[in-house]
Amino acid sequence: MPKGFIEIGGVPIVKRPIKKLTAAGVEEIVVGTGRCADWFGRHGGGARFAHNARYAETGGMGRSPVAPHS
């Protein structure tokens, strides 16, 4: 199980900010995933997930194809 799905108070860590953003009126939430991307697609709920296929090469999301570019 990815650490983002560890529950605190019965709610997975990854779902906490998604719930807060949705409650604040944010209409589109995109979460970039690397390792264990299949978990997010199955259990994430309330957000769109963009998988970084190059995560294993880069070790992070910083300059990934799914990260916003400024």
- Give the separation between CA 53 and CA 29, rounded to whole angstroms: 19
Tokens of 18: 């998604």
* pTM score above 0.85: no
Average pLDDT, the chain: 76
30-33 and 48-51 as β-strands: parallel, antiparallel, unpaired? parallel
Confidence of residue 70 (pLDDT cuts 50, 70, 90): very low
pLDDT at residue 26 in the model: 92
pLDDT at residue 38 in the model: 74
How much is the average pLDDT of 33-48?
71
- With residues binned 3-state (H G I as helix, E B as strand, rest as coil), the percentages for the chain, rounded to 5, are 35, 20, 45
